[in-house]
Structure 1
Amino acid sequence: MHHVDIPSGELNEFDLPPICIVTGERQGVVFKPVNFTWYPRWIGFLALLNLLIAIIVASAMTKRVTGTLPFTEEAWSRWKRGQVIMVVSVVVAIALLILAFSLLASDAPEWQGLVALPSSVAIPVLAWVFFLRGRGPQVRRIDKDNLSLAIPNGPAAYAIAGHFLAGLNSPARDDGESLDASGAPARALCARHDDIVANQVCTRCGAFMCPRCENRVRRESLPLCPDCWELRGRTIAVQAKAPGLTLANSGLFMGVVSVVPMCYAVHAVSLVLNTVSLVRNRHADSPRIDRKKAIAGLALTGIGLLLTLGMRLYSGSW
């Protein structure tokens, strides 16, 4: 994995080069929505002492960044498929862990519990190794201004790092056309002011522009014309409005927790949240991802209820 630091406000198609972060390809690249969450890793050790306090501290210190990153369709599909497999493996691991302790505490043969216990650890590890490792970005840190990522492709990491400094480099072209010192062809006129000589070319659309029309995120960034700058602002505003905690996300979280059997209150809350989320997102124009989260939350709750039923039957309570 290769490290790259991206300014938090520049995680979008206007400020990143179109190169797949997984394969390094430049053809067929599309920008896909991503959400990154990070909290200090020492909170994991705090969970060993008190889980409730660890959850509260993690909620207070968690930082999120939303934006888009360049992928090919194939790389994007493989990464998302790996994430789904990883979630399923964690659910299976939790179920196996509960089963292992139940078997060890019962009159069942001891070897069954001893097999289930290491299997609960091995399954998510194997899922990560074979289906998720090296298939997508991994967040290393999120601070006030930057997002630190580890991405699979080295050339893509170098291209992104160089892109952020490209505004300081002298332009170069090999087609024989003369350029002035700032990148526009000699004697080219500004697209908005036809009486002013252009001194820059928009990075996104290629329009010629004069110093009055030039817009940069930072001094060392490549310039954008007024139209692309306005479009960039609208795009970032939409991304910024994306809430970190939604009804669908809450329902999915409760669904994962409700896999643990015998937690009747959690099961009830999960059923209510996911049912309401599914009803709210039943329309065709609703986000498909929210419908999928609600369905997944209900399915996970069903697994928890089935495990509860099985344990009650096994223990002879019914």
Structure 2
Amino acid sequence: MTNRDRLIGLAVVVLWGLNFLAIHIGLEHFPPFFFAGLRFVVIAIPVLLFVPRPRVPWKWLLLYGLGFGILQFAFLFTAMRAGMPTGLSSLVLQSSAPFTVLLGAIFLRERLRGIQLAGIAVAIAGVAVIGWDRSHHAALLPVLLTLLGGLGWAFGNIGSRLAAAQSENVNPLHLTLWMAVVPPIPMFTLSVLTEGPTTGWNDLISSFSSTGWPAFAALAYIVLLGTIAGSGLWTYLMARYPAGMVAPLSLAVPVVGIPASWVFLHETPTALSLIGAAIVLAGAFTATSPGRRIARPAETTRRVEKDSDLVDA
């Protein structure tokens, strides 16, 4: 991975680390499934009207939207609403990185270099240090729900990579925007079935008040910076590099999420958590270090097209 693209990865890390604060604020105003549907529908409507659909197979676009948009946020928002601490959520959700590496090896037959395996191992060790130190702050069910959210994100990573690889010159931003078309109907259906047909809409109406502006500020951040900017840059990286090289970058998100939760939500991190965060950052950089030769985008596309044929078989 080039230094420029590693800086892009770090920008995504910062955007997504702060995104957990916005999610926390939004969930104080809206029920989880409704909030998840709302964050995507405000993107989906203008996308359907003004953005041309990228010429990628529908099956991979649907997999991208199912994993990244539906499963990840249905489980994550439910976990946080059930009491999962914001900083710890930013950590546990990064289970998507080893999940993505595993799925990439299984379905895309991606080969990992020794230095990548070492970096992933170091990063996972850092995650384990923070998780062990902070596990007493959350009950078991919210942790398990967040892990399932990480697995959903991993499937979304595979879907975005396959979608981008099977179309020449695909626009990563257009792909990200069209991913947002998939989640709204399933999310609002889940909201009606589990949260009630009017609960979310009543909360939305009540937010149009002098005390409701934080909810809209949080929604704006999630939509513009967390989803459009962050996910668009992430899709660019996933299309350019093997999943096993990009996914470990997400392990650095808690390095931003935990301190941000400390400053704004008074979730005080311990010294051991800070040491673990430093270990995660070192491992993520090691796992994304450049190899002897960086594959050109066309070469990457041909390789993933061949692997996707194996998936179809």
For normalisation by structure 2, the TM-score amounts to 0.27
Which protein has the bigger strand share?
1
For normalisation by structure 1, the TM-score amounts to 0.26
Greater Cα radius of gyration, structure 1 or 2: 1
Name the structure, 1 or 2, with higher relative contact order (CA <8 Å, separation 6+): 2
Which protein has the bigger helix share?
2
